[in-house]
Every structure is written in structure tokens, then in C-alpha cells.
């Protein structure tokens, strides 16, 4: 028995749609997903339900087996046959291990695949290829406190010292409340891996052994909410009753985990959420789910689940004195799109998310009648010894995006480079320099 699904692929920057046929197995699950708790708790199951609904399945529901953090999403064909998709959410690293031992068809991860995992899985194909690495949503790690804590802002260096146990009291931070109580996700968690990479490891720190560890995001958040001395880190949808504080990184402005700042990945603790599927996968349901997640319907589910969708929108930016005058003028007369183009590490080429975003930006430009001199590209870069070189490189990055847009019929209004001005991350670390090398899209 088969069902029809619409599959969407990037062809020359445009969305091409064709019908494929999905088989329904006579026995066993149609798809097995393992990995991130951040994705698997709600977003993954919700996307699966959306796919099953698109297929016209009936009586869609969730079943919970005896094992914690595992679910089965079940639908029924018109002929009464059950279609089962399994979701196990025990941490990002478990997803890659499951791909290796063939106990999963698709890995859900709240961090980028590690080099060691790429090497271990190389027999499955290149998991960094655009077809294999699918960015399905953007999330922000929120730093959460008890709502009664008066602290409003922290920088990434303070965070590292706090969670390493070097800053021991709230008074050390100019606050009040006595000893600091630490709350963290478990070692299998992509949330923990992301925090370790963005905050701890960058400054040579390790998580304090006094931190209370949780597999469940919800339980961690509720524990911080109940502890006046508590601090934790959590994925954006799990702030719940806690209080999120603004974060700075290097010379960046203080930023709250707001949707607009996370969508552009400017927020210092923003991160990407991934599906990884082997390029030569023989399970068509895995490809169908990845395709559905990228679709407008899938991205609407992303937003409804509390994460930040990749749907392109225009937003107004209020000018301020910290902006260069040319940028202030732009913000007075144009709107910025909720996407930044970034580049593959060590490369002048667009990364996998930028390739996906290119089609979305082109679709926005066409739908809104902005193909004729209504688009300005603004490039930024990391700090260089020679400011003129930084300016040139920032403009060259914008020109790389321009080439792709012009190739698809867009006549540009202007291309500008602002060098190393307005950093969104510290330039003292590779990860920060990569984030600062970005191209913004503005429309009139």
C-alpha cells in the first residue's frame, strides 16, 4: 500500500515540487527517529503528525510506551492499517549512535554533527551534504533565573565562570540571594553540548560537579522557577515560568532571546536544530519528513511549538547611536528580512542553511514584487588589523549573495559593506568570528 507526499527540493535556488510515493510497511515502524530531547519532546512528534495529516491518515494520536522520553505517533489508513513512527528523545549524541547501529532512520540533533561522528558514520555517506544536513528550526538557549531574581543581564564570560563554579554567590555579580545553585541538562543533551561549546569550552571551563543534571527540559525549568537561588540554561520553548536574562558576547549589545534576534542568529546563544538523514537512506519516510519540515506547513508547526521558524518576514529596525550613520539611514527607510546569510567554515561558499534560505528569500522577493531595485545587501565581517581589508571582505561576502540573487532575476538596489562594525559575537573565538561574517537583506 502506498500514500502520496509532495516533496520539495532546491533546484537552482528555486522550490521544485513533485509527487513521490511512500510505501507503508506491512510490519514494524514506518520511521524511527532518535536523538535530541529538545526536538523529540514536542517539535518532532508535531512534525510527524503534520506529515501524517498531509497523507490523509485517520485517527492520528500519540502512544507512550513504558520508557521515558519515548513516543509512538500512530495513524490509520482508510483500510484500517496502522502506520507507526517512533520517536526516542534521549539526547543528540544518541541519534548519531542509533544511525551507526541501524536502530534509527533519522537523527534529530540540537547541535551540529561532530567531526568524530562524521568519521564514524562515513560509510553512510556525507552527512554534511545539503541533502543530509537539514536545518529545521532555530532555537535560542535561554539563561533562566527565578522570577524574583533582580539580575537583568550577563555576559558569556560571566556565564562560563558561574557554571564552572568560580562565581559562587549572587553578591559576586552585584545581586543578592547568597549561594548560586546550578541547573544543567545531562551529558547526552544537545542543549548541554551547545552550552558547552558556546560558553564553557571557549573559555577553557568545565561544568561544576555541583550542578544538578536533568534529562527533561521541562523539569529543569520548573526546578529553577522554584529556587530563588537557581540559574539554568534551556531551549527557548522551555522557559515556562522562569525569567530569561539578556546576554552579551564580546562587544555585542545585550540581547534577550527574542524571536527576531534568534531568527537572524544574532542572539549570542542562538543555535540550529537539525535532522540528519543518510544521503543513501532507503527509507522514503525520512526524506518525506525532512521535506515536510522545510515546507511552509512544517515551519508553521515549528513556530506553534515555540521555536523560531525560518519563514522569511520583514521587520523594522529602530536606529540608534551605536549604529554607523549609513546603517541608521537604511533602518529609517527600509525593512530588514529575518534571515542572515552565513558562510561555511573556512569557505567563501554559503553554508547549508544559507542554501535553504536562498530559496525562501527569492520566494519572498518575488511574492512581494521586489525584483527591481528594491533589495539592498549589507555585509559584515570579523575584526582585521587593517580596517580597509575588513570593509572589502564584508562587501565581497555581500557580492557572493548578490550573484545568487541576480542569477535568479533580482536587480539589486545596492550592495554595502560595514566591515567589522556592529559585531554580534566576540572576535576572540572562531565561532564568534564566523557569526560576525554575515550578510543581511533589506527591502524597500
* Domain boundaries, given as residue ranges, for the chain: 2-135+274-304, 140-260, 312-443
pLDDT of residue 348: 65
pLDDT tens for 231-243 read 999 998 899 999 9
Q: All 3 cell numbers of residue 167?
A: 562565581
Dihedral sign, CA of 378, 380, 386, 387?
positive
Class of 312-443 per CATH?
Answer: alpha beta
- Interatomic CA distance for residues 336 and 375, integer angstroms: 10
- Interatomic CA distance for residues 360 and 340, integer angstroms: 12
Per-residue pLDDT of the chain (444 residues; tens, 9 = 90+): 454 444 444 433 333 333 355 888 888 899 999 999 989 999 999 999 999 999 999 999 999 988 989 999 999 999 999 999 999 999 999 999 999 999 999 999 999 999 999 999 999 999 999 999 999 999 999 999 999 999 999 999 999 999 999 999 999 998 889 999 999 999 988 899 889 988 999 889 999 999 999 999 999 999 999 999 999 999 988 999 999 999 999 889 899 999 999 999 999 999 999 999 998 878 999 999 999 999 999 999 999 998 999 999 999 999 999 899 999 999 999 999 999 999 766 566 788 999 899 999 999 999 999 999 999 999 999 888 888 888 999 999 999 999 999 999 999 999 999 999 999 988 887 778 888 999 999 999
- Using CA atoms of 390, 391, 392, 398 in order, give the dihedral in degrees to the nearest 10: 110
Give the pairing of strands 438-443 and 414-417.
unpaired
pLDDT of residue 12: 34
Fold agreement (140-260, 312-443): no
pLDDT of residue 385: 83
For domain 140-260, the CATH architecture is 3-Layer(aba) Sandwich (3.40)
pLDDT of residue 50: 97
This prediction's pTM: 0.83
pLDDT of residue 251: 86
pLDDT of residue 188: 86
pLDDT of residue 105: 97
- Domain 2-135+274-304 maps to which CATH number in 3.10.20.600, 3.40.50.360, 3.40.190.10, 1.10.10.10? 3.40.190.10
Amino acid at each position: 500500500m502506498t500514500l502520496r507526499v509532495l516533496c520539495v527540493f532546491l533546484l537552482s535556488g528555486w522550490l521544485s515540487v513533485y509527487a513521490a510515493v511512500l510505501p507503508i510497511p506491512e510490519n514494524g515502524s514506518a520511521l524511527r527517529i532518535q536523538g535530541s530531547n529538545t526536538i523529540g519532546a514536542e517539535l518532532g512528534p508535531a512534525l510527524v503528525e503534520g506529515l501524517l495529516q498531509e497523507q490523509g491518515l485517520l485517527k492520528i494520536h500519540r502512544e507512550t510506551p513504558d520508557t521515558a522520553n519515548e513516543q509512538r505517533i500512530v495513524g490509520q489508513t482508510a483500510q484500517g492499517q496502522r502506520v507507526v513512527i517512533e520517536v526516542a528523545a534521549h539526547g543528540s549524541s544518541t541519534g548519531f549512535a542509533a544511525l551507526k547501529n541501524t536502530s534509527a532512520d533519522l537523527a534529530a540533533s540540537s547541535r551540529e554533527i561532530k567531526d568524530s561522528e562524521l568519521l564514524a558514520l562515513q560509510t553512510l555517506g556525507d552527512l554534511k551534504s545539503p541533502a543530509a544536513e537539514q536545518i529545521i528550526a532555530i532555537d535560542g538557549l535561554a539563561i533562566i533565573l527565578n522570577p524574583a531574581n533582580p539580575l537583568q543581564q550577563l555576559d558569556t564570560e560571566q556565564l562560563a565562570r558561574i557554571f564552572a563554579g568560580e562565581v559562587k554567590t549572587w553578591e559576586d555579580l552585584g545581586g543578592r540571594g547568597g549561594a548560586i545553585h546550578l541547573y544543567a541538562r545531562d551529558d547526552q543533551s544537545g542543549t548541554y553540548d551547545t552550552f558547552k561549546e558556546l560558553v564553557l569550552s571557549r573559555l577553557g571551563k568545565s561544568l561544576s560537579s555541583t550542578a544538578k543534571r536533568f534529562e527533561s527540559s521541562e523539569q529543569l525549568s520548573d526546578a529553577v522557577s522554584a529556587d530563588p537561588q537557581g540559574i539554568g540554561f534551556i531551549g527557548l520553548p522551555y522557559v515556562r515560568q522562569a525569567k530569561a536574562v539578556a546576554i552579551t558576547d564580546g562587544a555585542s549589545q545585550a540581547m534577550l532571546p527574542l524571536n527576531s534576534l534568534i531568527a537572524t542568529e544574532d542572539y549570542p546563544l542562538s543555535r540550529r536544530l537539525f535532522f540528519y538523514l543518510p544521503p543513501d537512506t532507503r527509507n522514503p519516510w525520512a526524506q518525506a519528513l525532512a521535506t515536510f519540515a522545510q515546507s511552509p506547513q512544517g515551519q508553521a508547526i515549528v513556530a506553534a511549538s515555540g521555536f523560531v521558524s525560518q519563514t522569511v518576514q520583514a521587520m523594522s529596525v529602530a536606529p540608534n547611536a551605536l549604529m554607523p550613520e549609513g546603517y541608521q539611514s537604511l533602518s529609517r527607510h527600509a525593512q530588514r528580512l529575518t534571515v542572515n546569510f552565513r558562510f561555511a567554515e573556512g569557505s567563501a561558499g554559503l553554508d547549508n542553511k544559507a542554501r535553504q534560505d536562498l530559496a525562501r528569500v527569492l520566494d519572498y522577493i518575488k511574492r512581494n514584487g521586489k525584483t527591481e531595485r528594491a533589495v539592498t545587501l549589507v555585509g559584515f565581517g570579523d575584526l582585521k588589523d587593517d580596517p580597509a581589508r575588513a570593509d572589502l571582505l564584508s562587501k565581497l561576502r555581500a557580492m557572493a549573495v548578490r550573484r545568487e540573487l541576480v542569477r535568479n532575476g533580482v536587480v539589486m538596489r545596492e550592495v554595502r559593506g560595514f566591515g567589522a562594525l556592529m559585531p554580534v559575537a566576540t572576535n576572540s573565538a572562531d565561532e564568534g568570528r564566523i557569526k560576525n561574517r554575515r550578510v543581511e537583506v533589506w527591502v524597500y
